[in-house]
Amino acid sequence: MEDERQLIRRAKNGDREAFMVLVKRYEKPIYQLIFRLTGNREDAADLTQETMLKAFKALKSFQEKSSFHTWLHRIAVNLSLNFLKKNRAQKNQLEYLDNRLNEETEFQAVSVADNWQASEELREKLEKALEELPLLFKTTFSLVVFQGMSHRQAAEVLGCSEGTVSWRVHESRKMLREKLKSFINQNKEF
C-alpha cells in the first residue's frame, strides 16, 4: 500500500488517480459519518462527493500540520453542518441546557446484563434517539463513538477544546439515556 504522504504529494501535483486512491481509503467512513448526521442516504452520497471534490481543490493549501484523516473529516463535518443549518431548524442549545437543569432524572435500579436483550425495538428507539440529538452533540458523539476518534482528534476536527468534546459526549450519553428511559422502565421486568 502506497505511503499516504506520497499519494498526497502526487495528488497535490494534479495526479487524479493518486487522489482516487485516497478517496477509496476514506469514502466509506466519511459516508458513514455524514449519514449519521443527515440521516439520509442521498444527502450523504452528495455530501461525500462534495467533501472529496473540496479536498482535491484545497489540497494545494493543505500543509500537513494535521493528518489527512483529520483534515478530510473536518471538511466533511463543515459541509454537513452547513448543509443542515440551511436545511433544517436547529434545536436551541441553551434551551436544552435549561431543560437539563430543571429535570429530575430517575433511573430505576435495574441491572443491565440480565434484563435487556439486543432487540429490534431497542435499536429503532436508539436510532431515533440519536437522530434527535442536537446537531453539534450528535456530530461530536459520532466522531468519538462511531468514528472511534480520541477526544483530541475530535477536538482537532471540530476546532474546539478537548474539554468541550468530553462534555458534549457526556451530555449526549445522558440525553440518550433520558430518551430511552421509558423503554428501559418498561423492560425492567425482563
Partner 1 sequence: MSCEKYKKMISDRLDGNLSPEAEKKLLEHVSGCQECRNYLEFQTYLKNELQEMPAADNSDEWWAGFENRLRDRLYQEEQEEKSSLFIWAWKHLGALAGSLAVIFLAIVIMLRLPARNDPEQLVATTMSYEETYLTLNQLMQKDENLAQKIGDELEKSVMEEINHSGLERINLENYDYYEQEINENTINNFQLENISLEDLR
**If binding is defined by CB under 8 A, does position 58 make contact with partner 1?**
no
Tracing cell 463513538 back to the chain, one arrives at 145
Tracing cell 474539554 back to the chain, one arrives at 163
Work out the number of other CB atoms within 10 angstroms of the CB of residue 22: 21
Contacts 24+ apart (CB under 8 A), 183-186: 183/121, 183/122, 183/125, 184/108, 184/110, 184/116, 185/108
**If binding is defined by CB under 8 A, does position 21 make contact with partner 1?**
no
We find the least distance from the C-beta atom of residue 2 to partner 1, in angstroms, to be 17
**If binding is defined by CB under 8 A, does position 26 make contact with partner 1?**
no
Helices and strands (DSSP H and E) totals, the chain: 10, 0
**If binding is defined by CB under 8 A, does position 150 make contact with partner 1?**
yes
Q: Which stretch binds partner 1 (CB under 8 A): 1-9, 13-21, 61-69?
A: 13-21
**If binding is defined by CB under 8 A, does position 15 make contact with partner 1?**
no
Considering only 49, 67, 82, 185, the residue that binds partner 1 (CB under 8 A) is 49
Q: Using an 8 Å Cβ cutoff, are 75 and 47 in contact?
A: no
- Dmax over CA atoms of the chain, in Å, equals 63
Window 120-139: residues binding partner 1 (CB under 8 A): 122-123, 126-127, 130, 136
**If binding is defined by CB under 8 A, does position 164 make contact with partner 1?**
yes
Instruction: Report angle CA 3, 48, 37 to the nearest 5 degrees.
Output: 115
**If binding is defined by CB under 8 A, does position 30 make contact with partner 1?**
no
**If binding is defined by CB under 8 A, does position 28 make contact with partner 1?**
yes
We find the least distance from the C-beta atom of residue 14 to partner 1, in angstroms, to be 8
By the 10 Å C-beta count (0-12 exposed, 13-18 middle, 19+ buried), 165 is classed as buried
Q: Using an 8 Å Cβ cutoff, are 84 and 155 in contact?
A: no
We find the least distance from the C-beta atom of residue 6 to partner 1, in angstroms, to be 19
Binding site for partner 1 (CB under 8 A): 14, 16, 19-20, 23-24, 27-28, 31-32, 35, 41, 44-45, 48-49, 52-53, 56-57, 85, 90, 93-94, 97, 107, 109-113, 116, 118, 122-123, 126-127, 130, 136, 144-146, 150-151, 160-164, 166-170, 173-174, 176-177, 180, 184
